[in-house]
Structure 1
């Protein structure tokens, strides 16, 4: 198996050619802290940027221990932040979906931010008077453009971010690694937590239109963050079979993992009870990222709708 050598052998090109399945591949964290950090990012994102290194390590360690994922963000293009930068605490948990925005002047200011407390506020509630943060459930679009993590993310992500910015100015961000480099361009819609893969610039207008209506493009959906891979795969299948169902209409009600290779997920889809069997297996060894030192084996999740 030859190592990828040029743009025709990049991981996203190979994965598309192989038809690598995407379903069930969104990350498991349901809560995030977005940190605006313009300029270049190293392979580890915020930890390898112009952000204070010691502060970044303390911040990431504390929040990851609480199950909160830290993601670096910046405006599309070569925007340079002037003055205070922005942070956002994002909750993707069912019935709690919202993004709470605030501002910070110095990197160390974020160590004083009680992110968990912000996330535990009731949905729709902003901070107390004088705190300056605001909560919203309006869609925000994050496109992975983390080129030092994988070149495919920058090559494919930046045009998608630019196309989105033209349609929804001020609600689009380039972001650091969200997983699945070979599925670039990767688009994360918040606070719904919908992670799309293989997004093309010409698809952006359609995605924005259906997002505004609260529905889903099941064909490009990798999964919904915060859920296990089998649950994500079952939800993707539900959206395929019930295309009129919005993302709020598909609910996980249970899962039987007695057979780890055939997981049965119970769903409620717009009031209808549905059961999906998800077959979990390992794919053959493949080059999964452009920077991989050796082939790896990805998990594959194949959902099947069970009879009522």
Structure 2
């Protein structure tokens, strides 16, 4: 798993300093090309980061993932696309995040998107271009208003930030976690295929919180996790499987308290209040 990921990163990364340090993950604690250390669980620095996790998710009621043919490990430091910028401008101050996403299954000739909202659940958009941006805007506005779509429960998406050129910690730990999650899904599908729901692992560009790498976003539930490590993959997958396949509301239990950053549909203060209310449960 690790050699496979780093062989890709070394071959395709834009920054040589990442490549030169690519194999440092074999030693603990994990380090990055910028000589930034990812703290070990149980250390004081890790505990401080963990304490600061709740309430660090940007307040949003909808997250749009634009399918990219390029893996985030190949993105430039400030990667954006014309379609992404157009959507962000149209939904300015409306609680909509737009993020490029990549899947190892590849993408078709058209740029597709999947949107998750707290009231509408999942929406698949087969074609997103500047030419049909008005139509896409209206589709998203209708979706944000709800109700839940039938497609909401069809699949769970886990997105891991692997945007190495934005921050080496995401490239280092994010890549390892993405591979570990894929391996865990394969293992479950082989050992117990009938009870394993459809879970797709994707990689995304910058979502904020480099210091919390690896960051894992779980949709349609809308949960954001931080400080995830490869060895956490089995627990992450089993916990996600136990969740209802719908956006979580303020009354639902939070996912994996030691890693929980926040939830779609809640403001930052509401995220903190929810965590504190459930901290002793």
TM-score w.r.t. structure 2 length?
Answer: 0.68
Q: Which has the higher helix share?
A: 2
Is 1:24–2:55 an aligned residue pair?
yes
Question: Which of 54, 69, 75 matches 1:41?
Answer: 75
Q: Which sections of structure 2, spanning at least 5 residues, go unmatched?
A: 1-30, 186-197, 244-252
CA distance in 2, matches of 1:12, 1:111: 43
Distance 2:228 2:114 in 1: 24
Matched, 1:196 2:225: yes
Output the aligned Cα RMSD. Answer: 2.8
Aligned pairs for 1:256-295 within 5 A: none
Aligned partners of 1:122 and 1:6: how far apart in 2?
44
The 8 Å contact of residues 122 and 148 in structure 2, kept in 1 or not, is answered as no
2:120–2:145 Cα contact (<8 Å) kept: no
Q: Which has the larger radius of gyration?
A: 1
The one of 178, 181, 189 equivalent to 1:161 is 178
Preserved contact between residue 54 and residue 271 of structure 2 (Cα < 8 Å): yes
Shift in Å at residue 238 of structure 1?
3.3
1:123 aligns with 2:152: no
State the distance in 2 between where 1:157 and 1:109 align: 33
1:191–1:10 Cα change, 3 Å: same
> In the alignment, what sits opposite 1:184?
213
Structure number with the higher strand fraction is: 1
* Runs of at least 5 residues in structure 1 that lack an aligned partner in the other structure: 126-133, 243-308
My pick for the range that moved more, 12-21 or 63-72, is 12-21
Aligned-pair distance for 1:135?
A: 4.0
Is the CA contact 2:159–2:217 (under 8 Å) kept in the aligned structure 1?
yes
2:276 pairs, out of 214, 217, 237, with 237
Count of residue pairs brought into register by the alignment: 219
